[in-house]
Amino acid sequence: MVTPRAAGFSPQETPQSMDRAGGKSDGMKIGVLALQGDFEAHRKRLEELGAEVVLVKNSEQLDRVDGLVIPGGESSTFLQLLGERGLERLKRFSRQQPIFGTCAGAILLANEIENPKQAGLGALDIRIRRNAYGRQIDSSIRQGKFGAAPMEMVFIRAPKIDWLGPKVEVLATEGSDPVVVREGNVMAATFHPELSADKRVHQAFLSLVEEFGENHDASAE
């Protein structure tokens, strides 16, 4: 079994750990947690949209990004690779800066996780059920809506959001199910937007990061 240290996600922090990176003048930097999952697809998509991307493999790198993407994979494996202290570091990040989770990343962000129950970041007021669409063999491409516009969505062993808190905004749906949601600086998608040609979900996250940065800068004046 790979330990958190072997995976490279160090829980150590610098004195600047609690500072936001957005005050720098070198443009928007987006981190992609690069412990497992298709983080390269997220990197490519974000770079296509003009962001500078940092593949995050240790906690010190969180100090240098304006927002973070947690890709798909296996949520329980993420917990093993992060370790307890790494998970606590991500919890602090999620309270301070924009964060976006897809599939397993969405599971980690949820306040309540079922099938089975497990720990997470508790950053998003939703209840989410793992593997709600079946096994990997049951993966599918479905047509949903992003706002009112059609969107192709790739579901792979996808979770389903069973309950939404009162402050959670639904950005996209598949049938009657919410599949992209946002609460404050936290955003989640239950499918894999990085695997389709549509860039709107990632663009929405970059807009969130930009909005957060503007509000942070205004409050600091």
Phi, psi of 200 (to 5 degrees): -65, -35
Could you give the 3-state DSSP secondary structure of residue 210?
A: helix
Q: What's residue 217's pLDDT? A: 67
pLDDT digits (tens, 9 = 90+) for 137-151: 557 899 999 999 999
Q: What's residue 140's pLDDT? A: 87
Q: Which residues are catalytic?
A: 103, 192, 194
Longest pairwise C-alpha distance within the chain = 53
Number of H helices, E strands in the chain: 5, 12
**DSSP for 146-196, written as a single string:** ETTEEEEEEESS--EEEEE-TTPEEEEEETTEEEEEEETTEEEESS-GGGS
CB of 78 closer than 8 Å to CB of 104: yes
Could you give the 3-state DSSP secondary structure of residue 143?
A: strand
Residue ranges of the chain whose pLDDT lies below 70: 1-26, 134-138, 217-221
Q: What's residue 136's pLDDT? A: 56
Q: What's residue 16's pLDDT? A: 35
Extract the tokens encoding 100: 């976006």
Q: What's residue 193's pLDDT? A: 97
Q: What is the mean pLDDT of the chain?
A: 87
CA distance 188 to 180: 6
**Domains, the chain, ordered by start:** 27-220 (3.40.50.880)
